[in-house]
Amino acid sequence: MTDTDTDDVLLVRGGTPLEGEITVRGAKNLVPKAMVAALLGSGPSRLRNVPDIRDVRVVRGLLQLHGVTVRAGEEDGELVMDPSRVESAHVADIDAHAGSSRIPILFCGPLLHRLGHAFIPGLGGCDIGGRPVDFHFDVLRKFGARIDKRADGQYLEAPQRLQGCKIRLPYPSVGATEQVLLTAVLAEGLTELTNAAVEPEIEDLICVLQKMGAIISMDTDRTIRITGVDHLDGYTHRALPDRLESASWASAALATGGDILVRGAAQREMMTFLNVYRKVGGAFEVTDGGIRFRHPGGPLNSIALETDVHPGFQTDWQQPLVVALTQATGLSIVHETVYESRLGFTEALNQMGARIQLYRECLGGTPCRFGRRNFLHSAVVSGPTRLQGGELVIPDLRGGFSYLIAALAAEGTSRVHGIDLINRGYENFMEKLGRLGAKVERP
């Protein structure tokens, strides 16, 4: 689909506060990985709270190509995956199904265990930095995999059973940590991973693997130890809620002066976000069923914000919150330390009337990996500014949702191109917008 396709364009009439209730389901950053984990089991797995998003469809297609039967369970949002007949898939078919997601790389360990070989096509995912996968392949080599890089992708082979090993990640990468987990659980012997990522979605993946029969311990110092086992069963698991989508709606409430009850949102995984939300001047109430986010009236406060690995401020929360910061009084500082190019989306906000200046220097308290490498990875947001509707082309998933928020907060009408990308990570977002009173229509 191109951005000239009218199906992929949304007309947004701004100026109406978003008000009402919506529900978030399982996390985009857990569900597809738990689906990959099903490949490791000898029997069927049941995953609940699965959202209907594109990244889930991509993994479903890839599992099916490898002989896994995937069907809906009895409960709404339940998937039953049976891997009893895992088989090789044709390289061209894998390529066609890989889609826009980064998940195919996590098939490596499970396929090496089940088949002795794997093919990994070029990866999708958001264009917010170089996003190399060198850690993944370094890790797989340590387990004993052979990797042959060709023009169409990476061909992997396990000449013998993969062996547990000692690994230290150069940076606590979420994907590389998951790569280690999904590979080490069936490898022979002990694997010790230091400098691991400890995001809530990783803990939930560990819960899935433990239910399957894996032995995994987590220390407080980012060390994860996995004792390889010979056999894993299927699992039954309810995915943790999507803390990233929840925060996006929270930012939408703040930027539009609205009031949104996000059913399913969970406090524990959002503590860092909630502290920042309160500092900016947003109000929230945690209930048993979710979190209500609202603009309490009056001015918002400028803040200094630094994204970081968990338990720091999650980078995927950054872009939607920046839109709310355009409405705060004074100068806010945003230092993006996880991705080198995640602030480019602000140019379009400036065209709408925001005042956001980007810097190559580390403007936060902590110098980061990007400070001396010429990346525009810090921002100063001056506010409050009146936003005017504009012509917006969605650059990436969270940037796309941020443009929707900006268009909803702006005066006048915006044309937002490329909205299909939002389906990667936001279930039924059009329906949810409608329920919250947003004035949106297809041209």
Ligand X SMILES: C=C(OP(=O)(O)O)C(=O)O
Ligand Y SMILES: CC(=O)N[C@H]1[C@@H](OP(=O)(O)OP(=O)(O)OC[C@H]2O[C@@H](n3ccc(=O)[nH]c3=O)[C@H](O)[C@@H]2O)O[C@H](CO)[C@@H](O)[C@@H]1O
Catalytically active residues are 126
Q: In the sheet that 190-194 helps form, which strands lie side by side, from edge to edge?
A: 166-168, 190-194, 224-227, 215-218
Q: How far apart are CA 377 and CA 344, in angstroms?
A: 9
Q: Is 397 in the site for ligand X (CB under 6 A)?
A: yes
Say whether residue 424 binds ligand Y (CB under 6 A): no
- Helix residue spans in 121-232 (DSSP H): 134-143, 174-184, 200-212
The region that residue 269 occupies, defined by phi over 0 for left and psi between -120 and 50 for alpha, beta otherwise, is alpha
Least spacing, CB of residue 128 vs ligand X, in Å: 6
DSSP alpha helices (H): ranges in 100-173?
Answer: 108-115, 134-143
Judged by CB under 6 A, does residue 43 bind ligand Y? no
Report the nearest approach of ligand X to the CB of residue 217 (Å).
Answer: 27
Q: Provide the pairing of β-strand 413-417 with 391-393.
A: parallel
Told to check if 102 binds ligand X by CB under 6 A, we report: yes
Residue 120 interacts, among ligand Y, ligand X, none and using kind-specific CB cut-offs from 5 to 8 Å, with none
316 is known to lie in a ligand binding site: yes
Shortest distance (Å) from residue 318 CB to ligand X: 9
Q: Of residues 45, 49, 154, 173, which one binds ligand Y by CB under 6 A?
A: 173
Contacts within 8 Å (CB) and 24+ apart, 63-67: 63/35, 63/36, 63/38, 63/39, 65/89, 65/90, 65/93, 65/94, 65/97, 66/39, 66/107, 66/111
Q: Please, what is the angle between helix 397-409 and helix 315-325, to 10°?
A: 20
- Closer by beta carbon to ligand Y, 75 or else 134: 134
Contact segment (CB under 6 A) with ligand Y among 81-89, 126-134, 235-243, 260-268 equals: 126-134
Size of the site for ligand Y (CB under 6 A): 21
Is 136 among the residues that bind ligand X (CB under 6 A)?
Answer: no
> Which one of residues 316, 336, 340, 427 is an interface residue with ligand X (CB under 6 A)?
316
Residue 142 touches which member of ligand X, ligand Y, none, C-beta under 5-8 Å by kind: none
State both tokens at 373: 């490498």
Q: How far is the CB of 256 from ligand X (least distance, A)?
A: 21
Under the binding rule (CB under 6 A), the answer on residue 316 touching ligand Y is yes
Pick 256 or 337: Cβ nearer ligand Y: 337
Is residue 102 part of the contact set for ligand Y (CB under 6 A)?
yes
Which of 143, 295 has the CB closer to ligand Y? 143
Q: How far is CA 315 from CA 216, 343, 402, in A?
A: 27, 11, 13
CB atoms within 10 A of CB 131: 15
- Beta-carbon contacts of residue 284 (< 8 Å; ≥ 6 apart): 250, 274, 277, 278, 291, 292, 293, 294
Burial of 378 (0-12, 13-18, 19+ CB in 10 A): buried
- Closer to ligand X by CB, 86 or 397: give it: 397
Residues 108-127 that bind ligand X (CB under 6 A): 125-126
Tell me the site size for ligand X, rule CB under 6 A.
11
Q: What's the CA gap between 151 and 434, in Å, rounded? A: 45
In whole angstroms, the minimum distance from the beta carbon of 336 to ligand X comes to 12
Q: How far is the CB of 45 from ligand Y (least distance, A)?
A: 19
User: Does 338 count as an annotated binding residue?
Assistant: yes
- List binders of ligand X among 32-91 (CB under 6 A): none
Enumerate helices (H) and strands (E) in the chain, giving the number of each: 13, 24
209: amino acid identity, one letter: L
Residue 29 assigned to a binding site = yes
Binding site for ligand Y (CB under 6 A): 29, 102, 129-136, 171, 173-176, 197, 199, 315-316, 338-339
Question: Annotated binding site for phosphoenolpyruvate: which residue ranges?
Answer: 28-29
Question: Annotated binding site: which residue ranges?
Answer: 28-29, 102, 316, 338
Binding site for ligand X (CB under 6 A): 28, 101-102, 125-126, 128, 244, 316, 397-398, 425
